[in-house]
Amino acid sequence: MAEIAISSEELDNLIEEALSEEPFLKAPLSLQRGVEARVRLISLREHEKRRFSVSMLTLTLLFFGSVALSGILLWFTNLSVLYTDGVSGGKGWFDYYATAISLSFSSYQGAYSLVISFLLALATLFLAGALQIHKMIYSD
Amino acid sequence: MTREAAIRECTGVLPDISEAVNDIELVRHSQSGSREAFSELIRRHQHLVYNVAYRFMRDATLAEDMAQESFVKAYRLLKGFRGDCSFTTWLYRVTATTCLTEINKRKRRKEVELTPESGGNLCSTGHKPAERDLKEQIRRCVTRLSDRYATIVTLYYLKGTSYDEIAQVMDVPLGTLKTWMFRARKQLRFIIEKELLNNG
């Protein structure tokens, strides 16, 4: 205490002086940029979370909707009975085409492959387009 | 000198047309998802938040981290801001809480002693007080006060913060705040005296 032999009053003054004279600092330039970048990330994350929830909800509803619809259709239309007994000659008509296709499949393989490839390509394009539209709906 | 004047003096920022929009309007826009409005709020309050953080952390890098953390926390909590008090008061509260949480976390991990300038602890440096900036040592001692005392002393000496505003930040009546202030000064004097004796 040799160098700082100060009275209580002097100490009080010193404390008051030290605290009230503390300079007001300028915030670094990187502060605002840093916060803005983090805020942007947060809002993107929230947006993605929302989009994911909406997608999942839509898919779930679609799935259960299709199952329910199929159930209702089967229940009310009784398709299997209609197919076997309800349409006269229905079974025979189906058998005719099934047998014809199975017999001719080997000779028309190329043509069927072409049709299937074409259908697959169409389905791919349709899916890609649907996904793109889906993204656009839920993006900013 | 008012707080705004102090900020302008420090930053050289002059009021412009955007100042015409008040904080509450900006908060409302931010609550509806406008990032631009929040950026404007950051621009307006960054110096204050940084200074509050610096006074708690006593380290420029940590202060910047804490200021960032406070703004991010404010952004997350903004939806719950109902406008019962001014945005500045609310932001003080968020910043003080963020800094104190970090300080307590560091105390629990015993990291407080690791600040390069402090040596043994926030006040004792291993050098004689006269050799160091005594005023800076006194300022460092504020961080050794209990949480609420450190908060009120920090806010009180930040230019332009009134007792009323501090009472709002702390959510206590004015009389209680004055009692706390008295006790905080007494506790601070005790800490400083002890440190001076240890180092003397």
Q: Which residues of chain A have a CB within 8 Å of the CB of B159?
A: 24
Q: Which residue of B has its CA nearest to A35?
A: B68
Give B180 or A138, the one with higher predicted confidence. B180
Q: Is the pLDDT of residue B117 over 70?
A: no
Contact (Cβ atoms closer than 8 angstroms) between residue A1 and residue B196: yes
The mean of the pLDDT values for chain B is 80
Min CA distance, B181 vs chain A (Å)?
13
What number of helices (H) and strands (E) belong to chain A?
5, 0
Interval B59-99: pLDDT, tens? 999 999 999 999 999 999 998 888 888 898 899 999 999 99
- Closest to B52 measured CA to CA, from B30, B37, B74: B74
Model confidence band, residue A134 (pLDDT cutoffs 50, 70, 90): low
Interface membership of A25 toward B (CB under 8 Å): yes
Q: Could you give the CA distance from residue B155 to residue B149 in angstroms, rounded to a whole number?
A: 10
Give me B107's structure tokens.
């105390």
Q: Is the pLDDT of residue A3 over 50?
A: no
User: Is the complex ipTM more than 0.85?
Assistant: no
Q: Which residues of chain B have a CB within 8 Å of the CB of A23?
A: 10
Q: Mean per-residue pLDDT for B15-31?
A: 75
Interface membership of A43 toward B (CB under 8 Å): yes
Q: Which residue of A has its CA nearest to B34?
A: A43
Would you call A75 helix, strand, or coil by DSSP? helix
Contact (Cβ atoms closer than 8 angstroms) between residue B113 and residue B121: yes
Interface membership of B186 toward A (CB under 8 Å): no
Interval B119-162: pLDDT, tens? 333 444 444 445 457 888 888 888 888 888 989 998 998 876 88
Residues near B122 by beta carbon (within 8 Å), at least 6 away in sequence: B58, B112, B115, B140, B141, B143, B144
Write down the pLDDT at residue A139.
54
Contact (Cβ atoms closer than 8 angstroms) between residue B1 and residue B158: no
Q: Could you give the CA distance from residue A111 to residue B145 in angstroms, rounded to a whole number?
A: 86
Pairs across A and B, CB distance < 8 A: 107
Which percentage of chain A shows pLDDT scores above 70? 74
Q: Which residue of A has its CA nearest to B51?
A: A25
Q: Which residue of A has its CA nearest to B128?
A: A3
Q: Is the pLDDT of residue A111 over 90?
A: no
Contact (Cβ atoms closer than 8 angstroms) between residue B55 and residue B158: yes
Write down the pLDDT at residue B4.
55
Q: Mean per-residue pLDDT for A10-17?
A: 84
Name the DSSP class of A86.
Answer: I
Given A14, A19, A35, which is nearest B42 (Cβ)?
A35
Element of type H or E holding B62: helix B60-77
Interval A84-93: pLDDT, tens? 666 666 667 7
Residues near B118 by beta carbon (within 8 Å), at least 6 away in sequence: B112, B124, B125, B140
Q: Which residues of chain B have a CB within 8 Å of the CB of A10?
A: none
Q: CA dist B197 to A5, A16, B185, Å? A: 10, 20, 18
Q: Could you give the CA distance from residue B14 to residue A115 in angstroms, rounded to a whole number?
A: 72
Give B155 or A112, the one with higher predicted confidence. B155
- B148-166 CB burial, b ≥16 within 10 A, e <16: bbbbbbbbbbbbebeeebb
> Could you give all domains of chain B from N- to C-terminal order, each with its CATH number?
3-199 (1.10.1740.10)
Model confidence band, residue B39 (pLDDT cutoffs 50, 70, 90): very high
Given B35, B68, B185, which is nearest A43 (Cβ)?
B35
Interface membership of A9 toward B (CB under 8 Å): no
Contact (Cβ atoms closer than 8 angstroms) between residue B95 and residue B52: yes
Which percentage of chain B shows pLDDT scores above 90? 34
Interface membership of B39 toward A (CB under 8 Å): yes
Q: Which residues of chain A have a CB within 8 Å of the CB of B187?
A: none
Interchain proximity B38–A4, CB inside 8 Å? no
Interchain proximity B50–A34, CB inside 8 Å? no
Interface membership of A29 toward B (CB under 8 Å): no
Q: Could you give the CA distance from residue B87 to residue B117 in angstroms, rounded to a whole number?
A: 34
- B11-30 CB burial, b ≥16 within 10 A, e <16: eeeeeeeeeeeebeebbebb
Which percentage of chain A shows pLDDT scores above 90? 25
Given B6, B75, B188, which is nearest A39 (Cβ)?
B75
Which percentage of chain B shows pLDDT scores above 70? 76
